[in-house]
Structure 1
Amino acid sequence: MSATILDGKALARKIRDELAIEVSHLKTLGKHPGLGTVLVGDDPGSHSYVAGKHRDCREVGIQSIRVDLPATASEQDVLAAINDLNNAAECTGYIVQLPLPRGINSQRVLESIDPNKDADGLHPLNLGRLVSGEDGPLPCTPRGIVELLRHYAVDIDGAEVTVIGRGLTVGRPLGLLLTRKSENATVTLTHTGTKDLVRHTRDADIVVAAIGKAHFLTPDMIKPGAAIVDVGISRTNAGLRGDVHPGVMEVAGFVAPMPGGVGPMTRAMLLKNVVETCR
């Protein structure tokens, strides 16, 4: 048996096409979505990632506002840039690219973002909205995972889901999304303190690996036919690797690979959040 690939690139392309139509319509109503980015420093990976987001904006007709600050920028410089975007009418949503240089309090910076312009969906107020079931921008990667599973008809309702990793950007908010009444999954959030991790992964209908350990999830750790979502990225001597071992393809029913699975969906959900805040 070879697993069905959950093709995030193809679905993200479809979402961008749909967003382009919606953006064109919004403009006829005098509404102009705009994505802002704040990037501090000269990390090549961060610059490449931000550039990709602005390419996506051009593709769907979203205005983009790019704020690049030098590595020597102070926390006050960053907060000033955030204040400008909070007050900029042309910016309907924006992100601060992480990590920030040492000496800058990331939490203070993120809390300074206008929650209604929080394109990443990670402002404490928006996470609180998610907990309480209120409307607000949703975290991009978890939202992308749910949309990817739904598109390929992976059964979420009543499913046993094991999430490996309890990080703020994926693990914890994904658990909140999957346990909403609209998803109705039963979620086990595992971490470094989990005893007998394999028991949890073998019992799961869906396993999401988000720890950044190359090929951590092996074929013997899952049950036949399970849906596997690879979120982790590790840089090795052989290149970039995901958390899921290639052999899992022969046991699983569905696999969202790295690359080509969740990554494109994260970027598509960022655009979706920006458009939704403009409606």
Structure 2
Amino acid sequence: MSPLPTVTSSTLSASPPTGRARLMDGAALARRVVEETAARAAELTRRTGAAPCLATVLVGEDPASVTYVRMKQNRCTKAGIASRHLALPAATTTRELVDTLRALSEDPTVHGILLQHPVGDHIDERAAFEAIAPEKDVDGVTLSSFAAMSFGRPGFVSCTPGGIMRLLDAHDVDLAGKNAVVVGRSAILGKPVGMLLLARDATVTYCHSRTADLSAHLREADVVVAAVGRPRLIRGADIKPGAVVVDAGYNAGNVGDVDFDGARERASLITPVPGGVGPMTIAVLLAQTVDAAERQLGPGPRARTAVPPSPR
């Protein structure tokens, strides 16, 4: 496997890059993370006699969600993680879903819980998320997890932001003092990734659907994280020469939130869609499931968080 390219702080300068941006290969990095996670899961199972277990809960039969949950189950199997799937009818009420999640939270044989979203407009999704015990919130969706992440306390990060930080770390992107623009403000992607960037001493600007003159903000960005869910919203001309571009968007037709071809001509590093952020999301989910199992099953090698806190 070829080594990942190294990016130094000089990469994030105002001078244009030479040639096209290099790709941040999330698929390759995810394979490495899953291999490490599988080794940890095997050791934990050998030591305790219990395999780490991830419970997935799906409400309804949305085709994309069904496919995504099945993919996660397959990755669990490959990593030596047991999976338990609960498929609930589309008519499930908030109370029924909350009761299901609380029961899983109290089940000692389940170490991590994932509620696949969206869950339907008739359900109070936040109430459902909050029914997940913080120590089993391996998807990092509860208020407790967000607070712990924001204050640099032990806990679980949202998986996609955690995957983004691992990608940046793998490419040695120095964030200290750099201007980072996050386009998107969702509770499980935009907001948490901004907090993680801030913890690494980046100067963070949140942009969104009501931001005036988005292009002006982007042209000042050393690092761009696109997480708004609008195909090709960010044009190549919006990218500062030499910037690092992370496209966390995924739209119909395998299209991200960034005009990939145009942005690649100006950026120094860029994630492809697909094959960039997506594989890292699942890899972090598996890693955090093993973290949770290590903590719940007793003494052993120190559990690691997906994103180490800033040293300062």
The alignment's TM-score, normalised by the length of structure 2, stands at 0.85
Match of 1:273 in 2: 288
Whether the 8 Å CA contact 2:24–2:276 is kept in 1: the answer is yes
Q: State the shift of 1:208 in Å.
A: 0.7
CA displacement, residues 241-260 of structure 1 (integer Å, 9 cap, x when unaligned) = 11111211111110012111
Match of 2:44 in 1: 26
Q: Measure the CA separation in 2 of the matches of 1:204 and 1:50.
A: 35
1:1-279, aligned counterparts within 5 Å?
A: 1-30=19-48, 31-180=50-199, 183-235=200-252, 239-245=253-259, 246-279=261-294
Q: Which is worse superposed, 148-157 or 75-84?
A: 75-84
CA displacement, residues 119-161 of structure 1 (integer Å, 9 cap, x when unaligned) = 1111011111122221101111111001001101222222211
Q: Measure the CA separation in 2 of the matches of 1:147 and 1:158.
A: 19
Q: Measure the CA separation in 1 of the matches of 2:149 and 2:172.
A: 24
Q: Measure the CA separation in 1 of the matches of 2:240 and 2:121.
A: 43
SS at match of 2:114: strand
Q: State the shift of 1:170 in Å.
A: 1.0
Match of 2:299 in 1: none
SS at match of 1:61: coil
CA displacement, residues 68-89 of structure 1 (integer Å, 9 cap, x when unaligned) = 1111222232123212211221
Q: Which is worse superposed, 149-158 or 246-255?
A: 149-158
Unaligned runs of 5+ in 1: none
Q: Measure the CA separation in 1 of the matches of 2:178 and 2:167.
A: 15
Q: State the shift of 1:224 in Å.
A: 1.1
Q: Measure the CA separation in 1 of the matches of 2:41 and 2:122.
A: 39
Q: Measure the CA separation in 2 of the matches of 1:122 and 1:104.
A: 16
The alignment's TM-score, normalised by the length of structure 1, stands at 0.95
Q: Measure the CA separation in 2 of the matches of 1:13 and 1:171.
A: 25
Q: Measure the CA separation in 2 of the matches of 1:101 and 1:162.
A: 31
Q: Measure the CA separation in 1 of the matches of 2:95 and 2:184.
A: 33
Where do 4+ consecutive residues of structure 1 move more than 3 Å? Answer: none
Q: State the shift of 1:213 in Å.
A: 1.1
Q: State the shift of 1:102 in Å.
A: 3.1
Q: Measure the CA separation in 1 of the matches of 2:81 and 2:160.
A: 20
Q: State the shift of 1:54 in Å.
A: 0.5
Q: Measure the CA separation in 1 of the matches of 2:92 and 2:141.
A: 23
Aligned letter for 1:38? V
Q: Measure the CA separation in 1 of the matches of 2:121 and 2:23.
A: 39
SS at match of 1:229: strand
SS at match of 1:94: strand
RMSD between aligned alpha carbons?
1.2
CA displacement, residues 34-61 of structure 1 (integer Å, 9 cap, x when unaligned) = 1110001011100000001101100010
SS at match of 1:179: helix
Unaligned runs of 5+ in 2: 1-18, 295-312
